[in-house]
């Protein structure tokens, strides 16, 4: 007998992972890590789960593992799609927490499977009426809210000016533009305050495609992002800054993988942009913001903000966990306390499941706010308009909700006047 | 739309083809022999009347999610129903219904085990973890906690360390496993067994719903005050009814359990650092230390273990295999195959002994134990593995798990998709040595199947010393590539060892096969007395006895 | 109709029917109602036990097993016309496995014999507090008598047992059931697929489920370097607080609490002093004493004692108590205790529990340490009500498993020749037991009168026990009437 006898797998994919739905669903070993916070991160019994879908719907079919099983059965022909099964597949926020926990132990991309299962539902002709409605709206109005495109930028303050020649474009995103305009206002005021010249797409700005992508409408998502990239390319900008992490990952990850049109610009989330400005000394905080607050890591700005390779030391871009905290910690008077589930293991706000399952989203947001309140914080700060929107609906005034841009604005001196070029008045 | 249908059809066809070589998923319930639609409806009505529609499901996608164990290879069957009881009364009512309508009930917690799965029609899985998941009591002074079935090791650990306590230790399936299910079903073996024994050694009072629907409180919980602090009695200790090895609910469903907690000198929140998956734990060096010792031979390692046990130093100790070391440590398959197979890095550690010491009394105690430990290791020819980057990293990311909170055990399944236990032994260390050394006939059988089994062999088997080395536990697994024909090879190894064991009259590797008929018959009689309708996770344990008898008869016939 | 002569013919020489001997077996120190057995059977090996059980089943004659040559709780007094199975002739130490620190003993092996033999190997079994030298070590383990070392790692020293079932079949528990091992290997748990741990079922069963013919027990290293401390307390609450802290820090080996009565009685009895010495001594001894033995390890023993001592002194400083090498200036008290801590009571001295008024009744149960002051207060109140002198209650508290629980024992002493005293103590015993049970004291070993008191209150447990009994012993020949079975 030789010293060592080596038997390697005959299927090379065990040695070097490559995604396919069948591969991932059969590789699932039912370890259950997808349902629970990583053991070393658990700080209490109360806040130790990680899957909003399982927490609300309870049956394992609503966990990542359960959906891998469903995927296995569907792909093997042992299960047929029905309206109710499709509903249960959509009862998930796609926050990716399960994906993170799974990747801690396995070379797998279960989140991709979850999205692909939705894609399969759409291809098979199963559409939830609520999804059909917002997809129709995207197709017709370029946003999921059924709002006219000319109203997209009516939030723009009269005293904020665009600069034609600016190389920076502000991409507000649909939620910011139509539902959480205060975030957009705060953002542009900050940029103007520090002398940043920027412009906007205006009513030519379409939905980034992320909501469509997440509900399985891949082609529509592609159409949207390609439109935006083309439009932005034509404006000759070098940098796009967005308030919305969903838009950010749509441009930086989804587009890179799916869009035929390649972007000629960099894209940053506003938090990253502020960080840069602070490093350059352009942003300083002069005013006290007396507040005890906790920071909620948005999924798209956190664990989903970076494409993954097996063996990656980190899940998500660690800068995106540290940067918001670094910024907030610099604000005088602001006392930042941490929740138990943060960073790459943050608990979702409910995200985009609200199209069809508003109760589920509400319960999820309420649970997250309970966690925020348990820290003794008076406020929860986030850097995502969807998170802010969900929290606002859930809080009922029990805890203050802020976007970080609002906090930054509070900490800065009054807006300085600077040279006028033009004021955007919409189309 | 038709373009979409074509796209979808082609895609699904391709997927089915790809899956056919990797997995054998469950068939629809209606196709199971003995399925009766009318009975199904009757059971459904009964369950809904007890639990309400919200907590009862026979949807095929729901039952599909409970059809599988850690492999997708064999024996995948969907239950007819999955129900979510919310209280012991719910469980009781379901069990009584099962007795009336004659269906099987199987309790699940984490549901990792192959044994807690449907094995035919008329099966209801009780998912106890979803609504019965509270820590009912944590008595810091008297060091125990009362938990419901849904409580995980991680949750219990997090709450216990706040008050300076810890539990016996998570198993290698990980700290996301449910305490009750793991302890009752799997016996929960880990490195802290060196001090605290195995899972069933840590059970105090219990609340059990018996197969006939009666509630049995065991230990001090039996008395009217219903305190769970002690497990023995009154009179004969009825924990013995369910705490053998692997009862899996066959003698009743545990709905509350008091679990021992032990002193924990350490931070009150777990000091993890870094970003997943590269997460480290840096425990205070003056309270916790971890050593990795290599010995010139397995024999010397075992001899050293004996002496370490006699000296009663150490907190958590076990001997691990290179595969286990690599499996837990590596953070991707690519890294694993490169380090383990390519560079054979971990083999230079073997035979490896991992020792944790903890300042249970004081820092001086830590220093004393370190001194004694190093003295013993030196005497038996061992040495500390030189610290390189991997060793340093290993200690903080992996070795620390085995002393305290196992979290990455499931990594061992990622490299080939599955594993298969081929033998398990309990007994004195010398016995463990005899069967676990790499040139034992049992492991030579294992080695003959490489390839196609995936591994680098030969290596000696894992050892978990128990209770200061009064006895020890050992398991050995093989790692087939996840595909039906490859998994079959793993089963062949197991069968080969079983047959050879009978031929050689050597019980060491498959001790359960050699259990006397007296014991078997007694178990069956007790089982029949408590579960006359055979509704509690049938056919356990009769199926094991039948499997073993089959082997014995085969050989007898051949002779 | 059973012909006793048939039984005698079948069993031969092992049958004893001498009336004088039968009389001896009709009673013990418990004052349980005397009942003469039909026969006394004295087998000397397992096969004879098998034969006896089969015969008993054949003729439906109850069997009462007995291992100790002395009894304090009435366990071996037959409650129906029965045969007493005296296992004391089976007194071999079958095996001492030094390497794995396990000893296998027959029922007749006394503590005296066992500890003496083990000492030769620098080993010891885990004995209870000063057991009677004639007490069976196997019975102590079977009955879950608490031992003196509350270390978590020393818990449950009984590993496996060999049993003759009421059907006459031989059963072994754990891996000892595997015939190829020839009873050489022992684990406290069975291998898969044995889903039940039979060892646990036979513990505390008082012979109602079968006759244990051998037991494999854990034995431990006998520390040669020891330092014994007496820690005086004026009240039990403080003693308990100190005990919690000490045991949480895993300090020491033997650790237990005695009140002044028990301390004085033990000291007096060990020293062979007159009763007056005892009366004087108990007045000056502290109300409660925590006895703690620091023991050296196998290697560097002094260093181990040093760090434990330092830790102990730190706790002492925090809580304001003082560990002392002696009490009341008694010279060599630590050495005196050390000489008996790991041994049974010296056979040449009157057994300490009998050395006050001649006889005693113990009330003992399991509880948590923090409740012992409450139970002690209750006992005092009951004592006053029953006119039993409070100062004559012996208190022994044995922490278990690092202090997670404790064995709490109250000794009541009386003159057996004074019927009124006997009656008073019996009444007090009964009433106190009821009150204690009502207040949550857990009588895990429900001997004698306790069995109905306990099982009346735990119907579900009792029903399960009955079911088990029906499986094991359908003919109800094994010690019927015990444990209400």
Per DSSP, the residues of B360-425 read SS-HHHHHHHHHHHHHHHHHTT-EEPP--HHHHHHIIIIIHHHHT----GGGGGTTTS--EEEEEE
Interface contact flag, A30 B414, Cβ < 8 Å: no
Interface test with B, best of A32, A90, A98, A317 (most B CBs within 10 A): A32
State the pLDDT confidence band at A318, using cuts at 50, 70 and 90: confident
Instruction: State the pLDDT at residue A313.
Output: 65
C181 in contact with chain B, both atoms CB, cutoff 8 A: yes
Q: Are B479 and B550 within one domain?
A: no
Is the domain of B321 the same as that of B395? yes
Contact A313 B344 (CB under 8 A): no
Chain B residues in contact with C481 by the CB 8 A cut-off are: none
Query: How distant is the alpha carbon of residue C195 from its chain centre?
Result: 28
Q: Which domain holds residue B50?
A: 2-127
**Which helix (DSSP H) or strand (DSSP E) does residue C366 occupy?**
strand C359-367
Q: Which residues of B touch C152 (CB under 8 A)?
A: 195-196, 260, 262
Chain B residue with Cα closest to A69: B65
The second-level CATH assignment, the architecture, of A144-279 is 3-Layer(aba) Sandwich (3.40)
Give the model confidence (pLDDT) of C245-282 as tens digits: 999 999 999 999 999 999 999 999 999 999 999 999 99
> What mean pLDDT is reported for chain B?
92
Cβ distance A77 to B173 less than 8 Å, yes or no, reads no
Distance from the Cα of B212 to chain C's closest Cα (Å) equals: 11
Question: For residue range A280-315, what is the model confidence (pLDDT) as tens digits?
Answer: 999 999 999 999 999 999 999 999 999 888 877 678
CATH code where residue B339 lies? 3.40.462.10
Which residue of chain B has the CA closest to A104?
A: B277
Q: Are residues B255 and B303 in the same domain?
A: no
Residue B246 and residue B236: Cα distance in Å, rounded?
A: 21
Shortest CA gap B80–chain A (Å): 14
A291-411 shares the fold of A144-279: yes
* pLDDT band, residue C2 (cuts 50/70/90): low
* Banded model confidence at residue A48, pLDDT cuts 50, 70, 90: very high
Per-residue tokens: B81: 């129903």
Percent of chain B exceeding pLDDT 70 equals 99
Q: Which fold has domain C93-221?
A: 3.30.465
Determine the pLDDT at residue B540: 85
Cβ-nearest to A7 among B417, B418, B451: B451
CB-nearest to B72 from A32, A72, A74 is: A72
What is the domain count for chain B? 4
Chains in contact with B, counting 3 or more C-beta pairs less than 8 Å apart as contact? A, C
| Residue C365 with chain B: CB contacts under 8 Å | none
Q: Is A121 on the interface with B (CB under 8 A)?
A: no
Q: Which residues of chain B have pLDDT under 70?
A: 1-3, 72, 559
Which phi and psi (to 5°) does residue C125 adopt? -90, 165
Residue appearing with tokens 């031992």: C147
Give pLDDT, residue A5.
64
Residue B128: CB partners within 8 Å, gap ≥ 6?
A: B85, B91, B107, B108, B109, B148, B149, B150, B180, B181, B253, B255
Residue C55 clears pLDDT 70, i.e. is over it = yes
B258 CA to chain A: closest CA distance, Å?
Answer: 16
Residue B371 lies in a domain: yes
| pLDDT of residue C218 exceeding 80 | yes
* Residue B270 domain-assigned (yes or no): no
Which SS3 state, helix, strand or coil, does residue A168 take? strand
Contact call for A and C: 3+ CB–CB distances under 8 Å: no
User: How does pLDDT run across C323-352, given as a tens digit for each residue?
Assistant: 999 999 999 999 999 999 999 999 999 999
For residue A31, is pLDDT > 80? Answer: yes
Would you state the pLDDT for residue B482?
84
If you measure CA to CA, which chain C residue comes closest to B532? C467
CA distances from A248 to A240, A251, B275 (A): 9, 5, 22
Residue that wins the pLDDT comparison between C240 and A159: C240
B223 contacts chain C (CB < 8 A): yes
**Closest C-alpha to B23, from B486, B492, B489, B503:** B486
Contact check, Cβ <8 Å, B12/A30: no
Answer yes or no: is B534 within a domain. yes
pTM of the model: 0.96
Do B298 and B444 sit in the same domain of this protein? yes
Going from the C-alpha of B143 to that of each of B266, C37, C148, the distances in angstroms are 16, 46, 19
> Within an 8 Å CB–CB cutoff, is residue C466 touching chain B?
no
Of residues C199, C218, C298, nearest to B240 (C-beta): C199
Task: Report which DSSP code applies to C121.
Answer: T
The sign one gets for the Cα dihedral C127, C132, C137, C143 is negative
State pLDDT tens for residues C278-327.
999 999 999 999 999 999 999 999 999 999 999 999 999 999 999 999 99
Which tens digit of pLDDT belongs to each residue from A193-215? 899 999 999 999 999 999 999 99
> Which CATH number is correct for A291-411, 1.10.3470, 3.30.379, 3.30.1370, 3.40.50?
3.40.50
Task: Identify from C165, C246, C464, C485 which residue to disrupt to test chain B contact, counting B C-beta atoms within 10 A and taking the largest count.
Answer: C464
Q: Does B405 reach chain C within 8 Å, measured CB to CB?
A: no
Note the pLDDT of residue B1.
45
Q: Are residues B158 and B257 in the same domain?
A: yes
Tell me if C115 sits within 8 A of C342, measured CB to CB. Answer: yes
Contact A33 B25 (CB under 8 A): no
Option in B201, B506, B541 nearest C193 (CB): B541
DSSP letters spanning A96-118: -HHHHHHHHH-S--HHHHHHHHH
Residue with tokens 């308990």: C240
The CA dihedral of C342, C346, C350, C351, to the nearest 10 degrees, is 30
End-to-end CA distance of chain A: 81
Cβ burial of B556 (10 Å; 0-12, 13-18, 19+) is: exposed
Sheet with B420-427, edge to edge strand ranges? B420-427, B471-478, B464-466
Same domain for B50 and B19:
yes
- The structural domains of chain A, with segments of one domain joined by +, span 17-123, 144-279, 291-411
For residue A123, give the nearest of B4, B275, B481 by CB distance.
B4
Q: Where are the alpha helices (DSSP H) in C78-210?
A: 111-119, 137-142, 198-202
User: What is the per-residue pLDDT for C235?
Assistant: 97
Across the interface, of C170, C185, C190, the residue whose CB is closest to B518 is C170
- Of the CATH numbers 3.10.640.10, 3.40.50.10420, 3.90.1150.10, 3.30.43.10, which one belongs to the domain with range C4-88? 3.30.43.10
Q: What percent of chain A has pLDDT over 90?
A: 82
CB B327 within 8 A of CB B345: no
Selected residue of A9, A103, A217, A316 to mutate for chain B interface (largest B Cβ count, 10 A): A9
Helix, strand, coil in percent for chain C, rounding step 5: 40, 20, 40
pLDDT at A417 over 60: no
Contact yes or no for A311 and B7 at CB 8 A: no
Distances (CA, A) of C138 to A269, C84, C190, C351: 74, 17, 20, 20
CB-based contact B198:B306 (threshold 8 Å): no
* Lowest pLDDT segment from A70-74, B131-135, C10-14, C405-409: C10-14
Please identify among residues 19-38 of chain C the ones whose CB lies closer than 8 Å to any CB of chain B.
Answer: none
Please give the pLDDT value at position B407.
86
Instruction: Determine the average pLDDT of the residues in A71-82.
Output: 94
Chain B residues with beta carbon closer than 8 angstroms to that of C461: 216-218, 222, 234, 238
Query: In this model, does residue C365 exceed pLDDT 90?
Result: yes
Q: Domain end: B240, B263, B286, which one? A: B263
Topology given in CATH for the domain delimited by C226-438: Vanillyl-alcohol Oxidase; Chain A, domain 3 (3.40.462)
Is B269 a domain residue? no
pLDDT at residue number A427: 36
Residue-wise pLDDT for C383-403, tens only, equals 999 999 999 999 999 999 999
Contact B201 C209 (CB under 8 A): no
**B173 & B115 share domain:** no
CA of B142, closest CA in chain C: separation in Å? 4
Query: Both B54 and B159 in a single domain?
Result: no
User: With an 8 Å Cβ cutoff, are C203 and B237 in contact?
Assistant: yes
A164 reaches B (C-beta below 8 A): no
Residue that is last in its domain, among B110, B127, B144:
B127
- Residues forming a β-bridge with B455: A7
Cβ contacts of B310 on chain C, cutoff 8 Å: 101, 221, 298
Closest partner residue to A104 (CB to CB) among B15, B270, B276 is B276
* Closest CB from B16, B26, B332 relative to A310: B332
In this complex, which chains have at least 3 CB pairs below 8 Å with chain A?
A: B
Delimit the domains of chain C by residue range: 4-88, 93-221, 226-438
For chain B, how big is the Rg over CA atoms in Å?
24
Q: Which residues of B touch A42 (CB under 8 A)?
A: 154-155, 157-158, 175, 270
**Inter-chain touch A69–B68, beta carbons under 8 Å:** yes
Task: Enumerate the residues of chain B whose CB falls inside 8 A of the CB of residue A318.
Answer: 275
| Residues of chain A contacting B456 with CB distance shorter than 8 Å | 4-6
CB distance from C464 to chain B under 8 Å?
Answer: yes
User: Within a domain: residue B73?
Assistant: yes
**Tens of pLDDT, residues C151-167:** 999 999 999 999 999 99
Question: Two tokens at C224?
Answer: 């040669």
**Alpha-helical regions (H) of B239-321:** 298-311
Contact B291, B376 (CB under 8 A): no
The shortest CB-CB distance from B214 to any of C209, C446, C463 is to C463
**Chain C: residue nearest B369 by CA?**
C304
The mean of the pLDDT values for chain A is: 92
Residue A426 in this model has a pLDDT that exceeds 70: no
Residue C311 to residue B361, Cβ atoms within 8 A: yes
Q: Considering the domain boundaries, does residue B268 fall inside one?
A: no
Q: How far apart are the first and last CA of chain C?
A: 24
CA distance A212 to chain B (A): 16
Return d(Cα B365, Cα B112) in angstroms, integer.
39
């Amino acid at each position: 007998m030789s010293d060592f006898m080596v038997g390697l797998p005959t299927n090379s994919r065990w040695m070097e992972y490559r995604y396919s739905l069948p591969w991932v669903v059969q590789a699932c070993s039912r370890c259950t890590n997808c349902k629970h916070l990583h053991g070393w991160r658990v700080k209490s019994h109360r806040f130790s789960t990680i899957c909003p879908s399982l927490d609300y719907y309870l049956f394992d079919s609503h966990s990542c593992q359960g959906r891998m099983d469903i995927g296995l059965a569907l792909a093997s022909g042992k299960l047929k799609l029905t309206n109710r099964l499709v509903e249960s597949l959509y009862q998930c926020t796609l926050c990716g927490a399960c994906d993170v926990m799974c990747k801690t132990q396995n070379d797998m991309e279960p989140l991709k499977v979850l999205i692909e299962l939705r894609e399969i539902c759409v291809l098979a002709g199963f559409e939830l009426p609520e999804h059909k409605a917002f997809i129709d709206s995207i197709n017709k109005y370029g946003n999921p809210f059924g709002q006219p495109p000319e109203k997209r930028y009516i939030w723009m303050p009269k005293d904020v000016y665009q600069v034609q020649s600016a190389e920076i474009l502000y991409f507000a995103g649909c939620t910011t533009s139509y539902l959480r305009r205060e975030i957009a206002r705060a953002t542009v005021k900050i940029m103007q305050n520090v002398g940043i010249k920027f412009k906007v797409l205006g009513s030519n700005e379409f939905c980034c495609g992320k909501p469509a992508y997440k509900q399985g409408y891949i082609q529509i998502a592609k159409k949207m992002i390609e439109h935006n990239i083309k439009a932005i390319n034509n404006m000759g900008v070098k940098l796009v800054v967005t308030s919305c992490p969903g838009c950010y990952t749509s441009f930086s990850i989804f587009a890179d993988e799916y869009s035929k049109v390649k972007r000629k610009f960099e894209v940053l989330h506003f938090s990253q942009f502020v960080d840069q400005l602070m490093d350059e000394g352009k942003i300083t905080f002069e005013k006290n913001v007396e507040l005890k607050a906790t920071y909620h890591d948005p999924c798209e700005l956190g664990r989903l903000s970076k494409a993954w390779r097996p063996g990656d030391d980190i899940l998500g871009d660690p800068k995106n966990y540290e940067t918001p905290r670094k910024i907030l910690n610099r604000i005088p008077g602001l006392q930042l306390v941490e929740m138990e589930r943060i960073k790459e293991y943050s608990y979702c706000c409910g995200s985009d499941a609200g199209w069809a399952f508003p109760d589920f989203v509400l319960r999820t947001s309420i649970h997250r706010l309970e966690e925020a309140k348990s820290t003794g914080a008076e406020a929860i700060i986030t850097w995502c308009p969807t998170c802010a929107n969900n929290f606002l609906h859930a809080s009922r005034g029990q805890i203050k909700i802020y976007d970080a841009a609002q906090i930054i604005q509070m900490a800065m001196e009054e807006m300085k006047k600077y040279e006028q070029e033009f004021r955007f008045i919409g189309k | 739309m038709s373009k979409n249908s074509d796209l979808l059809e082609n895609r699904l066809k391709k997927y089915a083809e790809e899956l056919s070589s990797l997995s054998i998923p469950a068939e629809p319930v209606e196709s199971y022999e003995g399925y009766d639609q009318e009975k199904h409806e009757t059971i459904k009505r009964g369950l809904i009347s007890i639990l309400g529609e919200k907590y009862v499901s026979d949807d095929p996608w729901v039952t599909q999610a409970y059809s599988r164990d850690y492999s997708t290879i064999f024996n995948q069957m969907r239950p007819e129903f999955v129900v979510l009881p919310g209280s012991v009364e719910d469980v009781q009512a379901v069990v009584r219904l099962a007795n009336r309508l004659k269906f099987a009930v199987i309790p699940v917690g984490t549901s990792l085990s192959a044994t807690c799965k449907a094995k035919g029609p008329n099966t209801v899985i009780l998912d106890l973890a979803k609504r019965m998941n509270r820590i009912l009591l944590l008595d810091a002074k008297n060091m125990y906690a009362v938990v419901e079935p849904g409580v995980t090791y991680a949750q219990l650990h997090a709450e216990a360390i706040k008050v300076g306590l810890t539990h016996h230790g998570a198993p290698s399936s990980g700290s996301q496993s449910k305490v009750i299910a793991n302890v009752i079903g799997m016996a929960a073996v880990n490195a802290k067994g060196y001090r605290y024994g195995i899972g069933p050694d840590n059970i105090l009072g219990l609340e059990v719903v018996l197969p006939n629907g009666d509630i049995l409180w065991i230990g001090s919980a039996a008395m009217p005050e219903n305190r769970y602090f002690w497990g023995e009695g009154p009179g004969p200790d009825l924990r013995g009814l369910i705490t053998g090895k692997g009862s899996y609910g066959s003698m009743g469903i545990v709905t509350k359990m008091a679990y021992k907690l032990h002193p924990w000198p350490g931070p009150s929140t777990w000091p993890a650092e870094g970003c997943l998956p590269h997460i480290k734990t840096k425990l205070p060096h003056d309270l916790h230390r971890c050593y990795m010792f290599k010995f010139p031979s397995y024999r010397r390692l075992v001899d050293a273990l004996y002496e370490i046990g006699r000296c009663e130093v150490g907190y958590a100790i076990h001997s691990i295999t290179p595969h286990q070391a690599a499996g837990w440590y590596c953070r991707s398959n690519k890294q694993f195959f490169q380090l383990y197979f390519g560079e054979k890095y971990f083999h230079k550690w073997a035979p490896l002994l991992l020792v944790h010491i903890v300042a249970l009394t004081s820092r001086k105690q830590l220093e004393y134990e370190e001194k004694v430990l190093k003295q013993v290791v030196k005497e038996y020819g061992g040495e500390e593995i030189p610290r390189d980057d991997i060793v340093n990293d290993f200690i903080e990311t992996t070795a620390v798990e085995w002393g305290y909170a196992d979290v990455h055990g499931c990594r061992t399944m990622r490299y080939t998709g599955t594993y298969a236990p081929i033998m398990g032994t309990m007994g004195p260390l010398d016995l463990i040595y005899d069967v676990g050394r790499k040139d034992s006939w049992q492991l030579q059988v294992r080695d003959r199947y490489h390839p196609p089994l995936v591994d680098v062999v030969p290596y000696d088997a894992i050892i978990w010393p128990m209770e200061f080395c009064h006895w020890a536990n050992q398991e050995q697994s093989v790692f087939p590539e996840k595909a039906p024909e490859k998994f079959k090879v793993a089963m062949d190894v197991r069968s080969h060892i079983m047959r050879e064991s009978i031929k050689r009259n050597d019980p060491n590797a498959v001790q359960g096969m050699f259990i006397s008929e007296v014991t078997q018959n007694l178990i069956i009689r007790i089982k029949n007395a408590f579960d006359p309708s055979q509704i509690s996770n049938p056919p356990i344990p009769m199926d094991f006895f039948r499997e073993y008898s089959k082997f014995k008869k085969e050989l007898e016939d051949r002779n | 109709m059973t012909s006793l002569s048939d039984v005698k013919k079948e069993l031969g020489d092992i049958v004893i029917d001498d009336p004088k001997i039968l009389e001896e077996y009709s009673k013990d120190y418990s004052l349980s109602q005397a009942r003469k057995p039909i026969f006394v059977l004295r087998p000397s090996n397992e096969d004879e036990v098998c034969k006896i059980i089969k015969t008993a089943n054949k003729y439906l004659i109850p069997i009462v097993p007995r291992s100790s040559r002395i009894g304090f709780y009435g366990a071996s007094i037959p409650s129906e016309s029965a045969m007493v199975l005296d296992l004391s002739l089976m007194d071999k130490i079958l095996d001492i496995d030094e390497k794995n620190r396990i000893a296998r003993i027959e029922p007749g092996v006394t503590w005296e014999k066992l500890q003496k033999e083990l000492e030769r190997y620098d080993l010891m079994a885990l004995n209870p507090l000063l057991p009677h030298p004639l007490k069976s070590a196997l019975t102590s383990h079977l009955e879950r008598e608490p031992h003196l070392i509350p270390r978590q790692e020393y818990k449950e020293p009984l590993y496996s047992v060999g049993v003759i079932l009421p059907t006459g079949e031989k059963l072994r528990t754990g891996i000892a059931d595997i015939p190829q091992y020839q009873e050489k290997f022992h684990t406290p748990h069975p291998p898969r697929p044995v889903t039940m741990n039979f060892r646990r079922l036979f513990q505390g069963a008082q012979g109602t489920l079968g006759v244990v013919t051998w037991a494999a027990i854990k034995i431990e290293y006998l520390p040669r370097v020891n330092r014994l401390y007496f820690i005086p307390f004026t009240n039990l609450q403080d003693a308990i607080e100190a005990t919690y802290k000490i045991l949480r820090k895993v300090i020491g080996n033997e650790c237990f609490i005695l009140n002044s009565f028990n301390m004085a009685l033990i000291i007096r009895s060990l020293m062979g002093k007159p009763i007056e010495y005892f009366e004087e001594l108990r007045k000056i001894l502290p109300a409660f004493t925590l006895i703690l033995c620091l023991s050296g390890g196998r290697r560097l023993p002094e260093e181990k004692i040093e760090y434990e001592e330092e830790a102990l002194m730190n706790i002492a400083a925090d809580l304001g108590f003082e560990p002392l090498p002696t009490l009341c200036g008694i010279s060599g008290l630590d050495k005196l205790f050390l000489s008996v801590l790991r041994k049974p009571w010296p056979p040449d001295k009157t057994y300490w529990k009998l050395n006050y008024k001649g006889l005693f009744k113990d009330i003992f149960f399991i509880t948590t340490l923090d409740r012992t002051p409450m139970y002690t207060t209750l006992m005092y109140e009951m004592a006053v009500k029953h006119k039993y002198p409070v100062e004559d209650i012996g208190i022994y508290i044995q922490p278990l498993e690092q202090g997670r629980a404790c064995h709490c024992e109250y000794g009541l002493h009386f003159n057996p020749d004074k019927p009124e005293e006997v009656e008073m103590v019996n009444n007090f015993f009964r009433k106190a037991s009821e009150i204690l049970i009502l207040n949550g004291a857990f009588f895990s070993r429900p001997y004698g009168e306790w069995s109905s008191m306990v099982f009346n209150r735990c119907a579900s447990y009792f029903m399960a026990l009955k079911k088990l009994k029906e499986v094991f012993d359908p003919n109800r020949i094994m010690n019927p009437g015990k444990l209400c079975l």
